Structure 1
Amino acid sequence: MDFRFDHIVHYTNNPERAVGQMKAFGFHAQMGGQHPDWGTYNGLCHFDLSYIEFIGVEDIHKAESVADNFLIKQIAAEKDLGDGLCRIALRTNDIEQAGEWFRQKGLIIKGPVEGSRRRADGSLLKWSMLFIEDQESDPYHLPFIIDWKQTDEERRKTLINQQIIKRHCLHDAKLAYAAVAVKDLETSIMKWKKWFHLDDKPIVFNKKLNARYCKLLLKGTDILLCSPTGDGLVADTLKQRGERPFLLKLSETKVEKKADLFGGTYLFGNND
C-alpha cells in the first residue's frame, strides 16, 4: 500500500492572519475557501503537493453538529485549547483499498467520508477521507487518509494552472518534515511503520528538543516521531495538548530562523 504526505492541518481562529504571516515570511499562500457542510474555512500554503492548511471555524454550531468527519469533530472538541497544529493527512489514490488495508491490520475504520470546499471563484472541490481509531492512544493523533480522485500528475497540473502551486519568494522552499509528539517512541514507530507501510531512519537524540526522534520516510514530506527525555517543547506538547504534530521544518529557505506561529513552531533553513 502506497501512502504519500498530503498536508498538515493547523487550526487557527484567524486563517487570514496566518496566510498574511506566511506571505510576510516570503511564501506563496492564499485563502482556500469554505466547507459549507462543516462550518469551517481555510487558507493554503503549498510546497508542491505537500501543503499547510490553516483551518478556522466560522459557524461553531454547525461544526459541533458534524457526526462523520473526525477532523471537524476534533477541531470542535478542542476549540478551548486555542491555535495549534492538530493533524496530518496522508494521500492515496484508492481509498477503498486503503480501508481494507487498515482493516486487515485490525484497525477500526470510519468512512470513507465525502468532503467538499467552495473555492473563492465559486467552483466546488470534492474529495474522500478515511479516519482510523487507535483505542490505545490519543483518539485524534493518527493521520487521516485523503483521496483527491486524481493522479498526482493531474492534481499538480490543476494546482499550477490555478496558481495555488507557485514558486515562493524564498525560491525552492520545501516542507521537509512534520514532527509529532508521542509518549512511547518505540511503540509508535512500530505501529506507524506497520500501519502506513513506511521505512525509517535510526533513532536520534536532539538536544534542542530534549527528545529522541525517529524519521519516517514519506513521499513529499517526512514525519518525525518525537518522545521527550526531559523538559522542553515535546514534553510541553504532550502535557498541554496530547499526542499530535507540534513543529514544521521548512528547508531551502535561504534563511535560518525559528518562528512561533499561531500555536505551532516553524523552523526555517537547512539546520535542525
Structure 2
Amino acid sequence: MIHALDHIVILVEHLPSAAAAYTAAGFVVAPGGEHADGATHNALISFPDGTYLELLAFRRPAPEHRWWRHVAAGPGLIDFALLTNNTTIAVAAAADRGLMMNGPMPGGRIRPDGVSLAWETAWPPSPDLPFLCGDVTDRAYRVPDADFWGHSNGARGIAEVIVAVTDPVASAGRYAALLGITPNAAPAEARIPLGESEIVLRGPDAGDPHVIDRLTRRGEGICAITLRGLHFPDLSATLGAAIVAAQ
C-alpha cells in the first residue's frame, strides 16, 4: 500500500556547504550518511508530518547512477519518493493496473553513528512519476525524529509537490495506475491528494516558470515544493531549489 509522501531529493554540489546554507535559511539539518553504493551521501531535514528533504551529493563520478544525469543541469530538486508499507505488494498492484515499476531493489545507508539502514525501492517507467521507498529496518532509524523539527523558519511539513509534465491528463492516468485512484485532471493541471500532502501535475500551459525551467533543463519531474508554516515566501534564490511557502 502506498499511503504518503516520503521524501524529496535535492541535488547539491558539496554536502557540507549545502548543509550550512540550509541551516542559515532556518532549517535544522541532520547528518545522513553514505549510501551503500558509495557514490552518494546525504543530510536530512525532517518535519512533523513524517516527510523530509534529502540533500544529496555525489562523492565520485557515477555515470551508472540514476541521478547522475542531473549533475550537468546543476543543483536543485530532482526526484521524490512515496512511502509504502510493502514495496512488493505495491509493485504488483501497479502492474495489475497496467503500470510496470522496476523493483523492488535493495538499498541502504550507513549513518555517521555506524547504524546500518536497509530499504527497498521501485522505480517508475517515466520521469513524471515518483519512486517508491519501503523500509526493511525501522523507519525511525532512517528519518530524524522530533529533536530535529525545530526549524526557526517555521517549516513544519510538505504541503505540495509540483511536478512539471508535458501532458497533465496523460500523467494523471499513470498516477491512477500507480496509486489506484482517479485524479482530478484538467489540461493544464491535475491534483492528487496523498496523506497530508498533495501532488500537483502542472503542464506548460499553466504558465508556471518553475515548470518551464524544469522541462527545459531536465525534462519532466519535480520542479517545486511548498512548505507549511514557512516564514519566507520563497527560498528559491537563496538555496537554488524551488522551495516556497504554502498559501
TM-score interval, normalised by the smaller of the two chains? 0.7 to 0.9
Map 1:156-235 → 2, pairs under 5 A: 159-160=144-145, 163=147, 165-171=148-154, 173-198=156-181, 200-201=183-184, 203=186, 212-229=188-205, 230=207, 232-235=209-212
Q: Could you say what the CA RMSD is over the residues aligned between the two structures, in angstroms? A: 2.6
Cα distance change on mapping 1:261 and 1:124 into 2, 3 Å: farther
Instruction: List runs of 5+ in structure 1 lacking aligned partners.
Output: 66-72, 135-139, 205-211
Residue 96 of structure 2 corresponds to residue 104 of structure 1: yes
Match of 1:70 in 2: none
Match of 1:145 in 2: 132
Q: Distance in 1 between matches of 2:153 and 2:182?
A: 30
Q: 1:167: how far off? A: 2.4
Aligned to 1:101, what secondary structure does the other structure show?
helix
Aligned to 1:234, what secondary structure does the other structure show?
helix
Q: 1:261: how far off? A: 5.0
Cα distance change on mapping 1:172 and 1:242 into 2, 3 Å: closer
Match of 1:78 in 2: 70
| Runs of 4+ displaced beyond 6 Å | none
Map 1:11-160 → 2, pairs under 5 A: 11-48=11-48, 49-60=50-61, 63-65=62-64, 73-134=65-126, 140-149=127-136, 155=140, 159-160=144-145
Q: Distance in 1 between matches of 2:137 and 2:101?
A: 23
Q: Distance in 2 between matches of 1:167 and 1:199?
A: 36
Contact 2:214–2:223 at 8 Å: present in 1 too? yes
What letter corresponds to residue 112 of structure 1 in structure 2?
P
Q: 1:35: how far off? A: 1.0
Residue 216 of structure 2 corresponds to residue 239 of structure 1: yes
Cα distance change on mapping 1:170 and 1:143 into 2, 3 Å: same
Q: How many residues align?
A: 245
Aligned to 2:237, what secondary structure does the other structure show?
strand
Q: 1:17: how far off? A: 2.3
Instruction: List runs of 5+ in structure 2 lacking aligned partners.
Output: none
Q: 1:195: how far off? A: 1.8
Cα distance change on mapping 1:183 and 1:261 into 2, 3 Å: farther
Q: Structure 2-normalised TM-score? A: 0.87
Q: Distance in 1 between matches of 2:24 and 2:143?
A: 26
Identity of aligned residues (%): 26
Cα distance change on mapping 1:82 and 1:170 into 2, 3 Å: closer
Q: Structure 1-normalised TM-score? A: 0.80
Q: 1:51: how far off? A: 0.8
Q: 1:171: how far off? A: 4.1
